[in-house]
Amino acid sequence: GAGFIVMPCNTVHIFLDAIRASVKIPVLSIVDAAVDAVAALPDVKTIGLLASPAVVKTGLYHDALAARGIETLAPNAEGQEAVREIIFAVKAGDKSAAQRERLLAVCGSLVERGAQALILGCTELPLLAGPDDFSVPAVDTLAVLADAAIHYARAA
């Protein structure tokens, strides 16, 4: 009896087309919601992406953002490994100041490389730091997906 599906996980969106093909109701996209939020930011042409290795490797956000004329920067190999470790630490219940500082350091590196805004492209990351903790705007993918779901439900 559901009217639509919301998947609060960025990585599973790698399979979005297959999921949509297997159901008869709409499936909202966390990627589309996040890209819309980034596109709404004034004068942002370069975004820093913090996400699981699978999301980064598949180009899930890179392609969607490029279609809007926005360049995507991912962390270097060391930074990406730190993001992976941070995600697993949060999943294990570690939301310590040390994990937060590691996240902020990776974000700072992306900003130094030219990121004008950030995508927190894993739903565990906002549990460590929010938009006000960064020197540039940050898009919380879970928050924008929740907003999209509310708007979709109200319009339905």
Give the active site residue among 9, 19, 127, 143: 9
What six digits make up the tokens of 102? 């590691």
Backbone torsions φ then ψ of 117, nearest 5 degrees: -160, 170
DSSP 56-79: HHHTHHHHHHHTTT-EEE---HHH
Q: Indicate if 9 belongs to the active site.
A: yes
Amino acid in the structure at residue 141? T
Give the model's pLDDT for residue 129.
Answer: 95
pLDDT in tens, 14-64: 999 999 999 999 999 999 999 999 999 999 999 999 999 999 999 999 999
pLDDT band at 131 (very low <50, low <70, confident <90, very high): confident
Q: Indicate if 122 belongs to the active site.
A: yes
- As to burial, measured by CB atoms within 10 angstroms (0-12 exposed, 13-18 middle, 19+ buried), residue 87 is buried
Dihedral of alpha carbons 49, 52, 56, 58, sign:
negative
Give the active site residue among 14, 82, 122, 128: 122
Strand positions, DSSP E, 3-154: 5-6, 27-28, 46-51, 71-73, 117-121, 138-140
pLDDT band at 156 (very low <50, low <70, confident <90, very high): confident
pTM of this prediction?
0.93
Contacts within 8 Å (CB) and 24+ apart, 153-156: 153/3, 153/4, 156/3, 156/4
